[in-house]
Amino acid sequence: MKSFTNLFGCFKRNPRQEAAAPADQSTAGASSMGAVASGMPPPKRPAPTDSPGPPIENNVDAPGTPLKDALKQANSAKVAVFFTGTEEEKQIHEIQAILNALKDDPNVENPVEVPEIQKIQVSGFSKKAIQHLTLHNSWPLIYIKGNAVGGLKELQTLKQDYLKEWLRDHTYDLIVIGGGSGGLAAAKEAARLGKKVACLDFVKPSPIGTTWGLGGTCVNVGCIPKKLMHQASLLGHSIHDAQKFGWKLPEGKVEHKWGHLRDSVQDHIASLNWGYRVQLREKTVTYINSYGEFTGPFEISATNKKKKVEKITADRFLIATGLRPKYPDIPGVKEYTITSDDLFQLPYPPGKTLCVGASYVSLECAGFLHGMGFDVTVIVRSILLRGFDQDMAERIRKHMIAYGMKFEAGVPTRIEQIEEKTDEKPGKYRVYWPKKNEETGEMQDVSEEYNTILMAIGREAVTDDVGLTTIGVERAKNKKVIGRREQSTTIPWVYAIGDVLEGTPELTPVAIQAGRVLMRRIFDGANELTEYDQIPTTVFTPLEYGCCGLSEEDAFMKYGKDNIIIYHNVFNPLEYTISERMDKDHCYLKLICLRNEEEKVVGFHILTPNAGEITQGFGIALKLAAKKADFDRLIGIHPTVAESFTTLTLEKKDGDEELQASGC
């Protein structure tokens, strides 16, 4: 009889791979529109998992403190140094000498106390594990107040006044700047571990004055209201489908009431806002509704809405301020347009709407607005869903066009107001953009009138007003914090999670996981990292797109086209047969596999109703390195669309004719 490992090969777990982002300070690492489930393009830099996994410690005859105990000691000590042998004693003496030089004259008020170094000897295996955990290769490795600093060289680069201030006592163990999903998760976890925590949250109004409560982008202006409005759109279709299934509807036109939906959504969000405040109080986290800015290496100036400033200090800081929408530099854009920050509180029905941008935010909003009966056009500069699988993006475009939406190619150059908006009705605006004349081939200005213009061209980490430059936190060109894991590369007591951390997916669950794991690592000495690879995601377009792993383009680039085999098919959901939904012609799925690794599945993609629910379940298969054969021997649930993944036999090849779906 085969062993369990042989029988269930896909469940053989490899050693854990290495782990694991502000205009306003409430987004706290939450992603923008599709935070809870929507997908984001992969990070521009290689994912953290490209490096080898952590070594497994060998405790047989290994000298030194066991890894688990060593990490806990380093986290609880004021100053600790990991070392492996006596040959490193000289460097440890040099480290102690640098610290001793910080001592104040005994007559100085509140002199700094320089502690003796706690020396922690570890084995060679533990050394590799600690270096993997911290991404610090310097050795001996210094920890100050539980923060990995690096070696002697890194200690010498720190400003002496910064180092001296670091050794002093501060009001809080941790200050979190940003009260969104990631920031709240981190604050509560740190408090659970017995730390004194403050969480600052303040929303700067959008250009048209929209603001919101505690909870960040996801809860207030992202995935939660988006998913509810997506559901409202789907229910509109279900009403029409019901007649095909024998339901008799009242006579007259079925209409959607925007105001009723908006109020219901905002009531639900308000209940969540209140719940977060209660949770912080129960966890003994100090909630401060003020805008935080560094005015010293360990000092935050918190300014409330009355412009009153309070100064607070901490040993560590977590930046979890998230993103806000970008605006193009064209006349009238901030006066006459809205973003996803404003849409869900819009006091009037949006009317004829132009969605600007090819992002998932743009497509999701366009989809649910059209589903509620509004005339919607999407204008894009080039491709849809940059960073996602482009075969799937094109299928989404074709479906949305068949669904009744219009697509224009171009970039708006100016916006003019024709009628001013009121609290009861939208305004009217003329939007201009260059378009190629199909007869002459020349570019010419065209224009169209719209009631609402939604800007969705991307989001940016507005970290300029947080004072990061003041203390020397290194940022990328996109203003995100450059990190060694989640730790700033230049200021070791500053951390970042979620959308403001360079190179990580902009997703709410990522920020939540990263926040909790980071707190356990820096406060409890946990040998634990957030895994940023193979994250299942979904774009909530009218026909939902779920994916996990690599796109075709990325798979070809990483492994070579000849080493990739793609299994695909189309399908017809049973629910769409009687109702004769047009969507049935657009449902599609595929698995991207490696030929030379027993057809290991490296990409999972599906365009279907309820894609989020399906993708979340199958995501575990990719995390456990499933092969195509594992999908084949899984018995499907009938009749479901997900069972199609258990019967894939068609290989996708260049030049193949379009597939045609059939029933069961």
> What are the catalytic residues?
638
Confirm if 58 and 20 have CB atoms less than 8 A apart.
no
Q: Residue 436 and residue 599: Cα distance in Å, rounded?
A: 45
Residue 391: CB atoms within 10 Å: 17
Q: Residue 373 and residue 359: Cα distance in Å, rounded?
A: 22
Helix (H, G, I), strand (E, B) or coil at 495: strand
3-state secondary structure 399-414: HHHHHCCEEEECCCCE
Among 607, 542, 539, which Cα is nearest to 573's?
A: 607
With a CB cutoff of 8 Å and minimum separation 6, the contacts of 263 are none
CA atoms within 13 A on the CB side of 359: 22
Q: What are the strands, taking DSSP E only, across 550-643?
A: 564-570, 588-594, 600-608
Cα–Cα distance list, 335 to 207, 270, 416, 421, 424 (Å): 7, 28, 10, 11, 18
Give φ, ψ of 489 to 5 degrees.
-70, -20
Q: Is the dihedral of CA 431, 378, 253, 267 positive or negative?
A: negative
Among 663, 574, 636, 454, which Cα is nearest to 32's?
A: 454
In the chain, the amino acid numbered 410 is G
Q: Residue 388 and residue 60: Cα distance in Å, rounded?
A: 47
Q: Residue 146 and residue 163: Cα distance in Å, rounded?
A: 14
In the chain, the amino acid numbered 385 is L
Q: Residue 318 and residue 401: Cα distance in Å, rounded?
A: 44
Q: Residue 578 and residue 563: Cα distance in Å, rounded?
A: 41
With a CB cutoff of 8 Å and minimum separation 6, the contacts of 488 are 473, 474, 481, 482, 494, 495, 496
